[in-house]
Amino acid sequence: QQPDLDVPYVPTKQETVEEMLKLAGVKPGDVVYDLGCGDGRIVITAAQKFGATGVGVDLNPQRIKEANANAQAAGVADKVRFVEGNLFEFDFSQANVVTMYLLPSVNLKLRPKLQKELKPGSRIVSHDFDMGDWQAEKTIEVGNDTIYLWTIGN
C-alpha–C-alpha distance, residues 128 and 71, integer Å: 25
The least CB distance from residue 44 to ligand SAM, in Å, is 10
The least CB distance from residue 30 to ligand SAM, in Å, is 17
10 Å CB burial of residue 110 (0-12, 13-18, 19+) is buried
Residues that bind ligand SAM (CB under 6 A): 5-7, 9-12, 34, 36-38, 41-42, 57-60, 63, 86-88, 101, 127
Beta carbon nearer to ligand SAM, 12 or 120: 12
10 Å CB burial of residue 60 (0-12, 13-18, 19+) is middle
Q: Which of 104, 106, 100, 145 is nearest to 124 (CA)?
A: 100
DSSP bridge pairs for 34:
56, 99
Beta carbon nearer to ligand SAM, 116 or 120: 116
Residue nearest to ligand SAM (CB): 36
Q: Which of 99, 4, 87 is nearest to 43 (CA)?
A: 99
Q: Are β-strands 145-151 and 138-142 bridged in parallel, bridged antiparallel, or unpaired?
A: antiparallel
The least CB distance from residue 62 to ligand SAM, in Å, is 9
Beta carbon nearer to ligand SAM, 38 or 54: 38
The least CB distance from residue 154 to ligand SAM, in Å, is 28
C-alpha–C-alpha distance, residues 87 and 34, integer Å: 9
Beta carbon nearer to ligand SAM, 10 or 154: 10
Beta carbon nearer to ligand SAM, 6 or 152: 6
The least CB distance from residue 9 to ligand SAM, in Å, is 4
